[in-house]
């Protein structure tokens, strides 16, 4: 299978065709890394493991593939050149760490295929590859607020000093490096406001980035994105960009997802993705998750088929979801 460019890639629609009309996105990475013993108390968050424990990241990716995910998102959400440089890494080392996040995804995919080579093979060597379950490695790009590590990706309020040009300058090289890494997709995640969506779109177009992308916004009221900007206007930015193959919502309480899918459909015919969090809310002051009275983790899975009926084609989990959640989603959709 040829991956990697808008022209030649196994596009999301093809992936959906191959996998029975839906795709399963993986679940929370940081949650699992912590469960496996990683200490993420650092401004780099899960990206810290790129340096200290890459094997744990690979393990988590593999756990999600085993659970039924077709799309694994890399540990680059909070990995930025600026963040690594602040830790004393050179520009070159910082770019190498970004690429490493994608390589770890590829390694996990290869290991998964090796592990299942026997069941994938029908005895004819050449048939092996075509029988492989399609798996995409999506290079995660977190927002500017994720780099600030002050919780501002949950309110989208960067202040007046941050302009479109600030954001483009901040993200441009990272997007270029991740595109050069050979990732199948670039996943712009937890986009908190319209300005950042516009910055991503302009980078993709100005630099003629060949790797297809998805745009995923977050909401805390079920109507607008977290900054208060209109979700419909944000989605329209993604809709007008040919480089964007899918658009949707992540890191948002499950109870809002149904309404948000219906809203997004008013603005775009691109495939819709949803990967909500477990329903808890993040308190940036305390730096911890607080249980909410909304739909809880266990209650989340029964909604999945409804979301698919609504029109979401790519479904997974974000923060605080686990391989158990993803396995249940896979089963429910199958
Ligand atoms: Zn999340």
- Give me the residue label for tokens 């004819």: 124
CA of 230 to the centre of ligand 1 (A): 20
Q: Is residue 7 part of a domain?
A: no
Among residues 113, 101, 85, the alpha carbon closest in space to that of 47 is found at 101
What pLDDT is attached to residue 130?
45
Maximum pairwise Cα distance, the chain: 62
The CATH number assigned to the domain holding 288 equals 3.20.20.330
194-206 vs 231-239: helix axis angle to the nearest 10? 10
What pLDDT is attached to residue 17?
82
CA of 124 to the centre of ligand 1 (A): 42
What pLDDT is attached to residue 39?
87
CA of 319 to the centre of ligand 1 (A): 4
Residues 43 and 83 sit within 8 Å (Cβ to Cβ) = yes
CA of 182 to the centre of ligand 1 (A): 24
Q: Is residue 1 part of a domain?
A: no
319 is in an annotated binding site: yes
CA 135 to centroid of chain Cα atoms? 14
119 is in an annotated binding site: no
Residue 68's contacts (CB-CB under 8 Å, 6 or more residues apart) are: 24, 326, 327, 329, 330, 331, 334
Residue 75 dihedral angles phi and psi, to the nearest 5°: -85, 35
% of the chain beyond a pLDDT of 70: 87
Q: Is residue 189 part of a domain?
A: yes
- Give me the residue label for tokens 């109870």: 255
CA of 295 to the centre of ligand 1 (A): 16
CA of 23 to the centre of ligand 1 (A): 18
What pLDDT is attached to residue 313?
95
CA of 253 to the centre of ligand 1 (A): 10
State the total domains in the chain. 1
The token pair that represents 166 in the structure block: 């600030």
Which domain covers residue 188, as residue numbers? 12-333
Neighbours of ion ligand 1 (CB under 5 A): 251, 277, 318-319
Residues 300 and 278 sit within 8 Å (Cβ to Cβ) = yes
Residues 143 and 187 sit within 8 Å (Cβ to Cβ) = no
| Residues 253-263 pLDDT 10s | 998 999 999 99
Among residues 291, 273, 272, the alpha carbon closest in space to that of 281 is found at 291
Q: Is residue 310 part of a domain?
A: yes
CA of 318 to the centre of ligand 1 (A): 4
Residues 143 and 196 sit within 8 Å (Cβ to Cβ) = yes
Q: Is residue 3 part of a domain?
A: no
251 is in an annotated binding site: yes
Residue 263 dihedral angles phi and psi, to the nearest 5°: -65, -45
Whether the model clears a pTM of 0.85, i.e. scores above it, the answer is yes
CA of 96 to the centre of ligand 1 (A): 25
Along the chain (334 residues), what's the average pLDDT of each consecutive run of 10 residues? 42 80 93 90 85 95 96 95 94 97 97 83 51 87 90 87 96 98 96 98 97 96 96 98 96 93 97 89 66 57 91 94 93 91
Q: Are strands 185-191 and 213-217 parallel, antiparallel or unpaired?
A: parallel
CA of 251 to the centre of ligand 1 (A): 4
Residues 206 and 179 sit within 8 Å (Cβ to Cβ) = no
CA of 56 to the centre of ligand 1 (A): 19
Residue 297's contacts (CB-CB under 8 Å, 6 or more residues apart) are: 278, 279, 320, 321, 325
Q: Is residue 271 part of a domain?
A: yes
């Amino acid at each position: 299978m040829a991956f990697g460019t808008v022209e030649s890639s196994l596009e999301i629609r093809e992936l959906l065709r191959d996998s029975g009309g839906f795709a399963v996105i993986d679940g929370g990475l940081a949650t699992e890394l912590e469960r496996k013993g990683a200490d993420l108390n650092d401004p780099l968050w899960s990206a810290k493991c790129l340096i200290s424990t890459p094997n744990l990241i690979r393990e988590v990716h593999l756990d999600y593939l085993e659970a039924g995910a077709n799309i694994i998102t890399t540990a680059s959400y909070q990995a930025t050149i600026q963040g690594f440089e602040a830790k004393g890494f050179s520009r070159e080392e910082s770019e190498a760490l970004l690429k490493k996040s994608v390589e770890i995804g590829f390694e996990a995919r290869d290991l998964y295929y090796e592990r299942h080579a026997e069941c994938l093979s029908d005895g004819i060597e050449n048939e092996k590859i075509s029988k492989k379950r399609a798996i995409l490695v999506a290079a995660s790009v977190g927002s500017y607020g994720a780099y600030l590590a002050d919780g501002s990706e949950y309110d989208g309020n960067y202040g007046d000093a941050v302009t479109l040009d600030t954001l483009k300058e901040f993200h441009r090289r990272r997007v270029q490096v991740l595109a050069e890494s050979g990732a199948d997709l670039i996943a712009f995640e937890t986009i908190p406001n319209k300005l950042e969506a516009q910055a991503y779109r302009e980078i993709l177009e100005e630099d003629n980035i060949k790797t297809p992308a998805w745009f995923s916004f977050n909401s805390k009221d079920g109507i607008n994105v977290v900054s208060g900007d209109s979700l419909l206007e944000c989605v329209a930015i993604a809709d007008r960009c040919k480089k964007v193959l899918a658009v949707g919502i992540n890191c948002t309480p499950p109870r809002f997802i149904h309404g948000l899918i219906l809203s997004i459909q008013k603005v775009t015919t691109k495939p819709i993705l949803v990967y909500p969090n477990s329903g808890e809310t993040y308190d940036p002051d305390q730096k911890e998750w607080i249980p909410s009275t909304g739909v809880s983790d266990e209650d989340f899975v029964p909604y999945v088929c409804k979301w698919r009926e609504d029109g979401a084609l790519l479904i997974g989990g974000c923060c605080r979801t686990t391989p158990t959640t993803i396995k249940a989603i896979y089963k429910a959709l199958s």
